[in-house]
C-alpha cells in the first residue's frame, strides 16, 4: 500500500466520435494496458470533446458505452484503472470554465488542431471547438496527472495545459501538478491503409480497420492496402510507406521484430505478404471483438463499471476543484 501511494498518475482519453480502430489499439490502448500495473491510471471517454463537431446523438450514446466495452476487452481492468465517461463528472466543465479565464485568446488561436479542424468544419466553427484545449487541460489538471500518454498531434495541447497550470500556480501558489506528455517507447504509429502518409483515422472507413470489423472485412481492407510497384517486402518508410506500414502492423500484431518479419517474407511477393498481415490482425482482433460483443450484451455490468468509475473520478476531481474555487475567490457554499 505504501508503494501504491507513490505511483505516478496517468490520465488519457479518446473521443467517442467514431469506432475505435487498429490505430487506437496499437498506438494507444495497448500501451495503456502495459501501464496499468505500474501507474495509477485514469482512462476517460471524452464525449464532451466529441460534441465540438456535430455528432448523431444515438450514435454518440451507443459509442460511448461501446468504447468502454472495448477498453475492457483490450485488457484494461476496471479494478486497476478508473474508467469513466467525461460528461458524468461535471467537474470537468466547471474547471474548464475557470481555466478558460486563465487562457489567452491568442494561445488558443495558435493551436494547429483548431486551425485544421476549423478548415474541415468551416460551416460550424463553434466556440467549443475553439476552447477544446481548455477542457482538455481541465481533464488533466483535475486529477493532478503526472503523465499524459498522447500521440504527437496532441502534444501541443498538453503543452498548453502546462502553461495554464503554471500560470495559475504562479498567481495562486501551487495548485496543479505540471503534467508531461508521455509518448511511450513501444507502441506503433499505424498509418492509413489507403494513404500511408496519413495516420489511420476512424473517419476514413476504407483506410482503417475497426476493432469490431469481422474477419472478411479485415481481409478485404488489407487486400486493397496501398503498396508500391516494387515487390520486395522490406522496411523503408521513405520509399515504401505502404509496405512499411504493413510491416509495422504485422510486427505489432505478432510480437515479431522487424528483422524477423523481413526475413520471413524475403523473396515473397505482396500476394503472400498482404494476406499474412490480414491473418495476423484477424487473430489479434478476434478475442477483442468477441469479448466486446459479450460485454455489450451485459449492459448492467457496463453501467456498473462506468458509474463506479465516475464516482471514483468525482472524488478526486472534487478535491482539486474545491481548492481552485476557493483560490479564485468563489464564496464558500
Binding interface with ligand TRP (CB under 6 A): 11-13, 15, 46, 49, 136, 139-140, 148, 150, 154
Check residue 8 and report its DSSP letter: P
List all residues 6 or more positions away from 157 whose beta carbon is below 8 Å from its beta carbon: 111, 113, 133, 136, 137, 150
Which residue is catalytic, options 199, 221, 240, 274? 199
Q: Are 282 and 219 in contact (CB under 8 A)?
A: yes
CA 14 to chain centre: 4
Instruction: Give, in order, the Cα–Cα distances in Å from 329 to each of 104, 165, 310, 314.
Output: 20, 17, 27, 22
Nearest distance, CB of residue 61 and ligand TRP, angstroms: 18
As beta bridge partners, residue 148 has 181
Nearest distance, CB of residue 268 and ligand TRP, angstroms: 37
Nearest distance, CB of residue 66 and ligand TRP, angstroms: 17
Nearest distance, CB of residue 211 and ligand TRP, angstroms: 16
117 is catalytic: yes
Q: Are 87 and 47 in contact (CB under 8 A)?
A: yes
Q: Which residue lies nearer to ligand TRP by CB, 66 or 282?
A: 66
Q: Which residue lies nearer to ligand TRP by CB, 202 or 221?
A: 202
Distance from C-alpha of 101 to C-alpha of 328, rounded to nearest angstrom: 11
Q: Which residue lies nearer to ligand TRP by CB, 182 or 270?
A: 182
Q: Which residue lies nearer to ligand TRP by CB, 124 or 231?
A: 124
Which residue is catalytic, options 8, 115, 155, 202? 202
Which residue is catalytic, options 30, 117, 221, 240? 117
Q: Which residues are catalytically annotated?
A: 117, 199, 202
Amino acid at each position: 500500500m505504501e508503494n501504491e501511494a507513490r505511483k505516478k498518475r496517468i490520465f488519457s482519453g479518446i473521443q467517442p466520435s467514431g469506432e475505435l480502430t487498429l490505430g487506437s489499439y496499437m498506438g494507444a490502448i495497448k500501451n495503456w494496458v502495459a501501464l496499468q500495473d505500474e501507474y495509477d491510471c485514469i482512462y476517460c471517454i471524452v464525449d464532451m470533446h466529441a460534441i465540438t463537431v456535430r455528432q448523431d446523438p444515438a450514435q454518440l450514446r451507443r459509442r460511448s458505452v461501446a468504447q468502454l466495452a472495448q477498453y475492457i476487452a483490450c485488457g484494461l481492468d476496471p479494478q486497476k484503472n478508473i474508467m469513466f465517461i467525461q460528461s458524468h463528472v461535471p467537474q470537468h466543465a466547471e474547471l474548464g470554465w475557470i481555466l478558460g479565464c486563465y487562457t489567452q485568446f491568442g494561445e488558443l488561436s495558435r493551436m494547429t488542431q483548431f486551425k485544421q479542424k476549423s478548415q474541415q468544419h468551416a460551416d460550424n466553427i463553434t466556440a467549443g471547438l475553439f476552447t477544446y484545449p481548455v477542457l482538455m487541460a481541465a481533464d488533466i489538471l483535475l486529477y493532478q496527472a503526472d503523465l499524459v500518454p498522447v500521440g504527437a498531434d496532441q502534444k501541443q495541447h498538453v503543452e498548453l495545459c502546462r502553461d495554464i497550470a503554471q500560470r495559475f500556480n504562479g498567481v495562486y501558489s501551487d495548485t496543479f501538478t505540471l503534467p508531461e506528455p508521455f509518448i511511450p517507447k513501444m507502441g506503433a504509429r499505424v498509418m492509413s491503409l489507403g494513404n500511408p502518409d496519413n495516420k489511420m483515422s476512424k473517419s476514413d472507413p476504407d483506410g482503417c480497420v475497426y476493432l469490431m470489423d469481422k474477419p472478411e472485412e479485415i481481409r478485404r481492407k488489407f487486400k486493397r492496402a496501398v503498396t508500391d510497384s516494387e515487390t520486395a517486402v522490406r522496411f523503408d518508410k521513405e520509399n515504401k510507406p505502404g509496405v512499411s506500414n504493413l510491416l509495422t502492423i504485422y510486427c505489432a500484431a505478432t510480437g515479431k521484430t522487424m528483422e524477423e518479419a523481413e526475413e520471413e517474407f524475403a523473396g515473397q511477393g505482396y500476394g503472400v505478404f498482404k494476406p499474412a498481415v490480414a491473418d495476423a490482425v484477424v487473430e489479434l482482433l478476434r478475442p477483442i471483438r468477441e469479448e466486446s460483443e459479450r460485454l455489450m450484451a451485459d449492459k448492467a455490468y457496463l453501467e456498473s463499471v462506468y458509474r463506479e468509475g465516475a464516482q471514483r473520478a468525482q472524488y478526486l476531481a472534487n478535491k482539486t476543484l474545491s481548492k481552485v474555487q476557493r483560490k479564485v475567490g468563489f464564496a464558500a457554499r
